[in-house]
Structure 1
């Protein structure tokens, strides 16, 4: 009897692809491929183009798309929809102070994947958006309501 045929993964190491992160598609490169335990598919280590390696992620096969014109158009449509939703929210909500908003398009890091990383923006603005006298963010107080046990 012949040995069982080992299926090859549909995407290979160093291949450029588009990968979903939340509802957005980002250009990415496959760094590594590993079979899922039980032989039910593949996991891919992804590096998002233009992002720090701290955003590299192991993703299942169903989050990856071939890098072709059709999928690039889909990525552009998703980006346009996101921007439209954000502009609608901005019109409904009053503007917060300069330190209050999140900004960006919400992908890895909360920013448009074409404009660079804004990952630290939330860390810089803090939970309340306020600063102390020395321009450092205050520590967030504990939420004792969450810690009480009935």
Structure 2
């Protein structure tokens, strides 16, 4: 009886593909191919185009798509959805440094309140200023 032929992987080494990373599709290149441990599929070592080699990853076959116009359109749609979600999140978040009640301690009054709680020297200067003054007189 003739030995059975092993099926060829659907993607080959050095082939350009699109690969999912999280919810996004990125252009990638297949660096290596090997059968899965269970023997029912293939694993691919891929390199994401434009990314450092530290992002190279072994991925299962179901994360890879052929590099064709239809899949490029899908990647564009996913990118547009991601940007839309990010712009919606940015609009909902309060500005950096703001407080939920609307009080902002960076205002002039807030700075007065913060310094009023600190200690002052006998000539109404902050302790740090007094130290600077003392150093100048000793020299």
- Kindly tell me the number of residue pairs found equivalent between the two proteins: 97
Query: Which of structures 1 and 2 has the bigger CA Rg?
Result: 2
Aligned to 1:20: 20
The root-mean-square deviation of aligned C-alpha atoms, in Å, is 0.9
TM-score under structure 2 length normalisation: 0.68
CA distance in 2 between counterparts of 1:94 and 1:82 reads 20
CA distance in 2 between counterparts of 1:42 and 1:62 reads 9
Aligned to 2:11: 11
Aligned to 2:55: 55
Q: What SS is found at the alignment partner of 2:17?
A: strand
Aligned to 1:81: 81
More helix, by proportion: 2
Aligned to 1:44: 44
CA distance in 2 between counterparts of 1:35 and 1:89 reads 41
Aligned to 1:69: 69
TM-score under structure 1 length normalisation: 0.63
